[in-house]
Chain A
Amino acid sequence: MTNERRDAKLSGSGVLSGGSYDHVSISGSGRINGDVEAETVKISGSCKMDGNVEAGEFKVSGSGKLEGSLSGKRLKVSGSFRVGDELDVVEINSSGTLSCGSHLKTETVKISGSLKVGGNMQAEDFQIDGTFAIEGELNANNVDARLSGPSRVREIGGESIRIRDEGFSSFFLRPLLFWIRRTTHMCEAETIEGTTIYIENTRARTVRGHDVQIGPGCQIGHVEYTGTLEVSPEASVGEQIAG
């Protein structure tokens, strides 16, 4: 970009109109009307945006709401951030809640907290400590999920898939949820396909892979494997097919 760009700063409460900026910073409570293109966008406090955003770096501490789509290089969330449409960001780091109304495309994503995706999700490296709800397919090279609450996804496909049950995190709810735990699965999926798979406390119709380990608490309708299969004595598998 050769043309001069400006910085936009908003503190207190106010409205900013969209456009092309260098740095946008909102502290307090703000609104942005229209599409924004910027090097960095920083929100501390709360901000509502009604357009699409393209940003090198997008940071939310507090709460952010974007009606359109976000594309860029880095997204950092501490607090909550909701994207109405697509999210296409190279690197995502979120602690708190992150939700995306449509497809999510990224390379590395690290979540501690919750993730909601309305469409399909695609990543090279997906690490989550918390819970997820993905309406479509999760396609990732590496999935490493440590679940602390019920999560669901229609399909998972990738190279290495690990789903571990970390137990309910809420200290106060723990006694209450103790009995629910026995009947509820941490992860629900229709299909899980990967080269290597390790899953715990997961309910799935079909699991297909090369080296498959079905851990404790799993309830799987149908397992197909081409390499090795290990099934925990505390898991139930309807049918096993080798080859």
Chain B
Amino acid sequence: MEASMEAWISKKELLQATGISYGQLYRWKRQNLIPEAWFRKQSSFTGQETYFPRDKILQRIAAIQQLKDQYSLEELSRLLSPERTNASYGNEEVERFAWYDAGTASQFERGLGKSRFSYHELLFLYAGCLLVKQGAAREADIDRLAACVRSWIPAMAGTDYRLLIWREGGRNTHLLASGAQTVLLDPAVPVAADFRLEELAKQLNKQFNPFMEE
């Protein structure tokens, strides 16, 4: 904790810095606008103190204050923590983005057996489109990826994952590892892509909402 003191902010300092009240902070926590995981308890001489990741919480509170009058609560929580909501996304909502590739999207639709995607599925579609644009995946590879996604989704929680793809024998192999794990791969294997889903999620959220942090 000592060494990274600057990266953390206590609840008291946070309220002073932002001018919000205890009531507001607890309200936003109830409404899932601030993730529970950001509240870190530490014992101190006064009992327990709560600390937050400084940059994240300051940006989040600025975003909430800026957006709360324009959006309903539901829209707001979808904008801020999309992975927590049950929202679904159709082509019409994503085809305006530069990365969108219609062919890849229709392969995903076939592979997943649906026309509207969950947030997680959308993340993989995003990754798939990027791969195609980079020339790192052929049509058959995308079918393969969609099949992987279909089997992975039920076991996934959150977005802290790493998607590793390597190309050998003329086809791509896909590996999904939890973000905290160290993956040691044969150094001779030609890695085609190494995505952090958390990063992809940030990029995607930013496109949905230009006011978003990071």
Contact = CB atoms under 8 A, between A and B. Distances in A.
Interface of A: 122, 124, 139-141, 157-160, 190-191, 193-195, 205-206, 208-210, 221-222, 224, 226, 239
Nearest to B48: A191
Contact of A209 (B22, B24, B30): B22
Contact of B47 (A194, A195, A206): A206
**Residue in A122, A195, A205 with the greatest tally of chain B CB atoms within 10 Å:** A195
Contacts of A159: 21-24, 26-27
A205 B43 CA distance: 12
Nearest to B20: A195
A210 B27 contact: no
26 contacts: A122-B30, A124-B30, A139-B30, A140-B26, A141-B26, A141-B27, A157-B22, A157-B26, A157-B29, A158-B22, A158-B26, A160-B23, A191-B48, A194-B22, A194-B23, A195-B22, A205-B48, A206-B46, A206-B47, A208-B22, A210-B21, A210-B22, A221-B46, A221-B47, A222-B47, A224-B46
B171 interface: no
Contacts of A140: 26
Contacts of A224: 12, 46
A195 B47 CA distance: 19
Contacts of B21: 159, 195, 210
A102 to B, nearest CB: 15
Interface in B109-127: none
Contacts of B46: 205-206, 221-222, 224, 239
**Residue in A193, A194, A210, A226 with the greatest tally of chain B CB atoms within 10 Å:** A193
A239 to B, nearest CB: 8
A210 B15 CA distance: 11
Contacts of B22: 157-159, 193-195, 208-210
Interface in B1-33: 11-12, 15, 21-27, 29-30
Given A122-B30, A159-B26, A221-B47, 19 more contacts: A124-B30, A139-B30, A141-B23, A141-B26, A141-B27, A157-B26, A158-B23, A159-B27, A193-B11, A193-B22, A195-B22, A205-B47, A205-B48, A206-B47, A206-B48, A208-B22, A210-B21, A222-B47, A239-B46
A157 B22 CA distance: 7
B30 A195 contact: no
A90 to B, nearest CB: 14
Given A139-B29, A221-B47, A222-B47, A195 B12 contact: no
B48 A195 contact: no
Contacts of B25: 157
A139 B30 CA distance: 7
B35 to A, nearest CB: 14
A108 B26 CA distance: 16
B104 to A, nearest CB: 35
A199 B15 CA distance: 22
Contacts of A208: 12, 22
A226 B48 CA distance: 18
Interface string B146-177: 00000000000000000000000000000000
A222 B15 CA distance: 18
A225 B203 CA distance: 40
